[in-house]
Amino acid sequence: MMRSLKVGRAIGILLLFGAAAAQAAEFRAGAGKSEILITPDMLPLENLTSQHDPLNVRVLIMDDGKARSAIVVLEQPSVSDGTISGIKESLAKLAKVAADRAIVVGTHTTSAPHANMGSPGGSAAPSPGAAAFAKSLDEAAARAIAQANGALKPARVGFGVGTTDVNVNRDMPTPRGWAYGSNSAGFSDRSVPVLRVDGLDGKPIALLMNVAVRPVVMDGSLDDNNGGKAITADLAGAAANYVEQWYGGQSVALFLMGAAVDQAPVLEANRFVLDPDGSLKRVDLHQAGFMLLELLGERLGADVVRAADAIKVSGTPAVQVERHSLQLPSQGRAGGPPSNAPVLSYTYATGPDVDFPVVLMRIGDVAIVGVRPELGASIGAQIKAQSPYANTMVAVMVDGGAKYMVDAQSFEHFTNEARGSQFAQGAAARAVTGIGELLDQMKSSSPAR
């Protein structure tokens, strides 16, 4: 009798161990990367006349045993509704990821053509080069999705936060009003949240970096040989490439731009310079600016690697995706169209409330807050500070784009971002409160895993 009890107990322990192991193996992940091929016959496009480095599509697919979710990052200035729809169709077809469980994000390099095929409201037919580029992007996305789907394997997740100094506040006071420039006294969020996804061998499958900087070192810089611009993935691409190479080229690094509408790279190829009389001029380093890009890419990439190497990867998380919409006041144009010139006064016009979509993605104990407009850095910091999740990322240009959401101080300074905002003064405070309530609801209703 005693022997049978011991055997039964042993079998029970083995069954429990097996069930725990099965649960631990439920979470799987796969990542893919594919170049958007650009041929000389596509150029020029949007004053882009040459190519300095490749543009890529990067994909992370996660399967928690109940459903699949995906994050797709495009090295694009912004992403049209048509492009988003096409990529989500490919995710459903090639990887069985439902459209509402996927987010598509642009890195916001301003030195790449827009793929606007299929976007609503387009009046003129695209040029042959633009159509070919859009097709190439769709094909690259399909390749990256197929690669990620084929690479799905048991995985573990961990989270950490590093720091960086590649960003600086770009709203600068001048005698003629607030203008674009470099303001080291202004607020910047220099934290770098990093999500690390490892295989069971301890090697990174993917790394998700969230950085509050507009990755535009080469913004507006011209080739002094032909007057055009060179295509580049810019700082987001350079940092991602650094991270991938550091881990042996077998990992995929995905860049999510944080709340950074007022955050410029600390070094820029085509920079604003303030003269003693209060006027502004731009100084362009032309091709030499790519040296600055390489430097900042290495610096940011190294910051991400330091954070990633300190992460203890152990979690087998559930993945939850929620979509919500807040109602926020819009802004008209009573004071005239905004421009880059500083002003000492401006008349704002509040419009009707409009939809403000919010995507919440929970990966275990990590929350990703995704919104369409570029946010001011202080707004992102407030969202993270009030989040019930200790590990929170704030990503912009998620599933589309919208012009700017800034804080009250920016409106008081009549900054370019405030004048160009689609959202009225007070909208940011309401957004922060609303997002906090949505995060609280998700936290209270989420399972422990």
Q: What is the pLDDT of residues 314-328, one digit of tens each?
A: 989 999 999 999 999
Is residue 114 left, alpha or beta, with left meaning phi > 0 and alpha meaning psi from -120 to 50?
Answer: beta
* Kind of pairing between the strands at 167-174 and 402-405: unpaired
pLDDT at 11 over 50: no
Query: Would you state the pLDDT for residue 224?
Result: 84
> What is the average pLDDT across 28-51?
96
- Return the exposure string of 82-117: e unless at least 16 CB atoms fall within 10 Å of the residue's CB, then b: bbbebbbebbbebbebeeebbbbbbbbbbbbbbbbb
Question: Would you say residue 47 lies in a domain?
Answer: no
Look up residue 107 and give its two tokens: 């890195």
Query: Would you state the pLDDT for residue 399?
Result: 98
Strand partners, 371: 358
How many angstroms separate the CA atoms of 306 and 38, rounded?
A: 33
In this prediction, what percent of the chain has a pLDDT beyond 90? 85
- Mean pLDDT score across all residues of the chain: 92
* Kind of pairing between the strands at 204-211 and 191-199: antiparallel
pLDDT at 168 over 50: yes
Half-sphere exposure of 385 (CA within 13 A, CB side): 9
Give 430 or 22, the one with higher predicted confidence: 430
Backbone angles phi, psi at 154, to 5 degrees: -55, 140
Question: Would you say residue 416 lies in a domain?
Answer: yes
Reduced to 3 states, what is the DSSP secondary structure of residue 94?
helix
How many angstroms separate the CA atoms of 113 and 47, rounded?
A: 9
How many angstroms separate the CA atoms of 424 and 215, rounded?
A: 26
Question: Would you say residue 308 lies in a domain?
Answer: no
> What's the total number of domains in the chain?
1
Residue of 151, 209, 255 lying closest to 366 (CA atoms): 209
Reduced to 3 states, what is the DSSP secondary structure of residue 92?
helix
Instruction: Please report, to the nearest 10 degrees, the dihedral formed by the alpha carbons of residues 242, 243, 248, 251 taken in order.
Output: -130
Question: Would you say residue 161 lies in a domain?
Answer: no
User: Residue ranges of the alpha helices (H) in 230-375?
Assistant: 234-246, 289-309
**Domain, as residue range, for 387:** 319-445
Backbone angles phi, psi at 16, to 5 degrees: -65, -45
Q: How confident is the model at residue 12 (pLDDT cuts 50, 70, 90)?
A: very low
The kind and range of the H/E element at 2 are helix 2-24
Question: Would you say residue 395 lies in a domain?
Answer: yes
Residue of 242, 237, 299, 233 lying closest to 266 (CA atoms): 299
Strand partners, 353: 329
Burial of 135 (0-12, 13-18, 19+ CB in 10 A): middle
pLDDT at 20 over 80: no
Does residue 345 contact residue 356 with C-beta atoms inside 8 Å? no
Count H helices, E strands: the chain?
Answer: 9, 21
> What is the average pLDDT across 378-401?
97
Question: Would you say residue 334 lies in a domain?
Answer: yes
How many angstroms separate the CA atoms of 150 and 95, rounded?
A: 9
Q: What are 226-252's pLDDT values in tens digits?
A: 889 999 999 999 999 999 999 999 999
How many angstroms separate the CA atoms of 16 and 368, rounded?
A: 33
Residue type at 409? Q
pTM (2 d.p.): 0.92
How many angstroms separate the CA atoms of 193 and 363, rounded?
A: 14
Helix axes 427-445, 377-386, angle to 10 degrees: 30
Q: Which DSSP letter does residue 299 get?
A: H
Question: Would you say residue 408 lies in a domain?
Answer: yes
Query: Would you state the pLDDT for residue 408?
Result: 97
Give 38 or 121, the one with higher predicted confidence: 38
Query: Would you state the pLDDT for residue 21?
Result: 43
Query: Would you state the pLDDT for residue 116?
Result: 75
When mean pLDDT is compared across 64-73, 337-346, 436-445, the lowest value belongs to: 337-346
> What is the average pLDDT across 140-158?
98
Q: Which DSSP letter does residue 423 get?
A: B
Question: Would you say residue 440 lies in a domain?
Answer: yes
Give 225 or 46, the one with higher predicted confidence: 46
